[in-house]
Amino acid sequence: MDPDKYYPFKAAPLAYDIKALCPDISEYTMYFHHDKHYCGYVDKLNGLIKNSPLMQNIPLEGLAMLDDDDIRKNAGGVYNHEMYFSSLTPQYREPSAKMIKKMNESFGSAEKMMSSLAGAAMDITGSGWVWLAENRNGRLEILVTKDQDIIDPDKYSPLLNIDLWEHAYYLDRQNRRNEYIQAVMNSINWIGAENRMKDI
Ligand SMILES: [Fe+2]
């Protein structure tokens, strides 16, 4: 994803086939999530700022931090979903030794980090996001944002996120959010997360 991109925004295609995460995340869910929900945010954001040269000169990340509720929500919907789809991969690989070291330093062990991430996802009420981020001291943190809020880019570099809006899992899992979280944990793109780290 590119947080610095500007109007007019274009929906980023999935980096993998729409069926690639089946059966963990179905083609049906991925279609509605990417082609309808995410692309809908792109279209709405473009529509909101089509007559505003001022807004068109603000990058996506900045739009997602504005006080204007409509622009912030839709820019956040674009930003968050681009991070989400790129946080997943059908070719799962364990975190590298470098990432494991970072997890150990920040959480005591990789297992504690994984269980904290999954636990934060389980604990969300309403719609929101769980993030793994690197703070300005080079430590990993797990953060939660509500609705389509992003994490503060001045304080954190986002490494990955998990979408906990019901549209992310309800078609496949109904109320079994735990199954969805486990499916995501088994599909995390750790290479992509590591590539977003600043302190490497
Ligand atoms: Fe979503």
Distance between Cα 105 and ligand 1 center (Å): 31
For residue 16, being part of any structural domain is answered with: no
Q: Output the pLDDT for position 17.
A: 98
What is the domain count for the chain? 2
For residue 128, being part of any structural domain is answered with: yes
| 173 and 106 housed in the same domain | yes
Distance between Cα 78 and ligand 1 center (Å): 9
Domain boundary pick from 86, 116, 134: 86
| 110 and 163 housed in the same domain | yes
Distance between Cα 108 and ligand 1 center (Å): 31
Q: Output the pLDDT for position 197.
A: 92
| 61 and 133 housed in the same domain | no
| 169 and 120 housed in the same domain | yes
Distance between Cα 94 and ligand 1 center (Å): 25
Distance between Cα 32 and ligand 1 center (Å): 9
Distance between Cα 138 and ligand 1 center (Å): 28
Distance between Cα 162 and ligand 1 center (Å): 9
> 3-class DSSP state for residue 92?
coil
| 78 and 141 housed in the same domain | no
| 129 and 56 housed in the same domain | no
CATH code (residue 140): 3.55.40.20
Distance between Cα 38 and ligand 1 center (Å): 7
| 109 and 177 housed in the same domain | yes
| 167 and 141 housed in the same domain | yes
Distance between Cα 34 and ligand 1 center (Å): 8
| 60 and 143 housed in the same domain | no
Domain boundary pick from 86, 111, 132: 86
For residue 60, being part of any structural domain is answered with: yes
Q: How far apart are the first and last CA of the chain?
A: 19
| 155 and 180 housed in the same domain | yes
Walk along the chain (200 residues) and give the pLDDT tens digit of each residue: 777 799 999 999 999 999 999 999 999 999 999 999 999 999 999 999 999 999 999 999 999 999 999 999 999 999 999 999 999 999 999 999 999 999 999 999 999 999 999 999 999 999 999 999 999 999 999 999 999 999 999 999 999 999 999 999 999 999 999 999 999 999 999 999 999 998 65
CATH code (residue 55): 1.10.287.990
**Domain residue limits at 61:** 27-86
Distance between Cα 28 and ligand 1 center (Å): 14
Nearest alpha carbon to residue 153 among 60, 86, 67: 60
Element spanning 163, H or E: strand 156-163
Distance between Cα 97 and ligand 1 center (Å): 31
| 191 and 115 housed in the same domain | yes
DSSP structure class, residue 154: T
**Which residue intervals of the chain are DSSP H helices?**
27-30, 39-49, 53-56, 60-63, 69-86, 97-107, 110-123, 170-173, 177-185, 190-195
- Other beta carbons less than 10 A from residue 150's beta carbon: 24
> 3-class DSSP state for residue 190?
helix
Q: What is the pTM of this model?
A: 0.96
- Residue whose token pair is 């430590």: 139
Distance between Cα 85 and ligand 1 center (Å): 9
| 51 and 102 housed in the same domain | no
Distance between Cα 104 and ligand 1 center (Å): 30
Phi-psi region of 162 (alpha: psi -120 to 50; beta: other; left: phi over 0): beta
Q: Output the pLDDT for position 199.
A: 65
